Amino acid sequence: MAEKSPATKLPNASRHELKIGPAAALARAALLLNCNAMPFYSRLGNIPAKRHIQFRRKDGALYSEEVFGTEGFVGPTSTLYHIHPPTQVSGWKTLYSCAAEFVETDTMRMRHLKSAAMPPRGDPITGRVVLFGNSDVEMAVCVPAEGMRYHYKNGVGDECIFIHHGNGTVWTSFGTLNFRAKDYILIPKGTTYRMAFDEPMDGDPPARFLVIESVNGSHIGPPKRYVSRTSSQFLEHAPYCERDLRLPQLPLTYDKKGSFEVRIKSRGMVHSYSYGYHPLDVVGWDGCYYPYIFNIDDFSPIVGKHHMPPPTHQTFDAHNFVICSFCPRPLDFHPQAVVVPYYHSNLDSDEVLYYVEGNYKARKGIEPASLTLHPQGIPHGPHPGTVEASLGATHTNELAVMCDTFRPLFPTRAALELDDAAYPKSWEGAAAPFAPVNGKAKAKSGGKAAKAAKPGRRAAVANGESDADTW
């Protein structure tokens, strides 16, 4: 018999009181844990005083305890208490293939995709279009056309969803997450959820997001070097900390009978399972494994006297790939600093950049929602003329998300349809990258060089802003 929750007064929800107070909830006592799935212990809702003891509903029946564990129960784990046994499903069937098909796997060239042209399609799950991937990670862009009429569970890996445009809600078995533009939503493997966007206000762009998904079984989380080995606390040098993370909140529990579909991604297919009760029937949980949100505007960029390398901007990682945030920030302050990235060969990585917003006029053809791929082994860097034009700039307003992988990335057929074939030639004409200024092949110092630059170039730093800083 289903529990009759006092929270049935709320529309579509049964809400349970949080056992711990707000202050204690914020404290989120830390565990001795050094993982990159989730850094600290948390809890929400009602849980018993000890693990694996009797915990009863108001009608006297036992709640169903589920240990939600990773890495053979030695990795990050949470313990959830369901109204119904989580094994009660009434049917299952295979719906469709979700296996990404890669093409041009023997071709190595720089690529530029203009994803702004992608038309809306599907819902926040079926509308995901995988563009790049390998055996470790897949990257997709989604412009959803409709809402989800079901719940979803990724049984393959973790999802890092970057919201480019839109606001909305993710209802999960760990509670509710309200999201907005520029949020990273981290949804660990196995989490049951449903995602919905609010109707856009007049003039707002349609909902759009990037998904970086682990397909090698590893978990996406803060880099280990950001957290203490002895307390799991974020360290002083980390560019963000616990206060920047938004954890699931109430409402948590939905006590409803009916027919509910849960789709599960696994084995290259999406499967449909039927539940006779609402799948988000958890009354409480605790542990170190749960979804959360981090907004890219809360990333505190670390700047230097000389140009800082991409790992400075690292935000998350998993096995064989990293995710970095390039945010608006002051630029390097040595008087003769070259404030744009040097040409570089990232010999062990393929690099994908997703351009969010900012001024890209010095990067030929790049626009918001562009994705570039720079394969390992090919040097890349500033476009012709942009080094000289950037001298004297004091800040950048570019915002971009980067995913570097340690194995080659391959495009899908959908990627080729968005491909800017001219991109690999966009460096042509860079025979003299540090072009002579006023006839002198001599490096000028900071602002002086900017003043000495040709009028067309001077405009790029007229307000102290560099427009070619993204790596």
Count of residues in contact with Fe ion, rule CB under 5 A: 2
Burial status of residue 110 (CB atoms within 10 A of its CB: 0-12, 13-18, 19 or more): middle
Strands (E), 134-233: 137-142, 151-154, 159-165, 168-172, 175-179, 183-187, 192-197, 208-214
Q: What is the DSSP letter of 466?
A: E
The strand pair at 465-466 and 395-396 is best described as parallel
Site string for Fe ion, 322-351 (x = CB under 5 A): -----------------------------x
Between 124 and 341, name the residue whose CB sits nearer to Fe ion.
341
**Closest approach of Fe ion to the CB of residue 463, in Å:** 25
Q: Is 355 in the site for Fe ion (CB under 5 A)?
A: no
**Closest approach of Fe ion to the CB of residue 71, in Å:** 32
Between 14 and 405, name the residue whose CB sits nearer to Fe ion.
405
Site string for Fe ion, 56-75 (x = CB under 5 A): --------------------
User: Is 240 in a helix, a strand, or coil?
Assistant: coil
CA distance 212 to 208: 14
Q: What is the CA radius of gyration of the chain?
A: 24
**Closest approach of Fe ion to the CB of residue 346, in Å:** 6
Of 327, 324, 381, 378, nearest in space to 350 by CA: 378
**Closest approach of Fe ion to the CB of residue 310, in Å:** 7
**Closest approach of Fe ion to the CB of residue 350, in Å:** 10
Between 179 and 471, name the residue whose CB sits nearer to Fe ion.
471
Q: What is the DSSP letter of 216?
A: S
Between 328 and 375, name the residue whose CB sits nearer to Fe ion.
375
Nearest to Fe ion by Cβ — which residue? 471
Q: Is 471 in the site for Fe ion (CB under 5 A)?
A: yes
Of 118, 173, 168, nearest in space to 148 by CA: 168
Q: Is 184 in the site for Fe ion (CB under 5 A)?
A: no
CA distance 123 to 142: 8
Of 264, 248, 218, nearest in space to 86 by CA: 264
Between 109 and 442, name the residue whose CB sits nearer to Fe ion.
109
Residue at 68: amino acid letter: F
Between 364 and 448, name the residue whose CB sits nearer to Fe ion.
364
Between 213 and 351, name the residue whose CB sits nearer to Fe ion.
351
Between 110 and 250, name the residue whose CB sits nearer to Fe ion.
110
CA distance 457 to 377: 31
**Closest approach of Fe ion to the CB of residue 267, in Å:** 35
**Closest approach of Fe ion to the CB of residue 344, in Å:** 6
**Closest approach of Fe ion to the CB of residue 212, in Å:** 17
Burial status of residue 171 (CB atoms within 10 A of its CB: 0-12, 13-18, 19 or more): buried
Enumerate binding residues for Fe ion (CB under 5 A).
351, 471
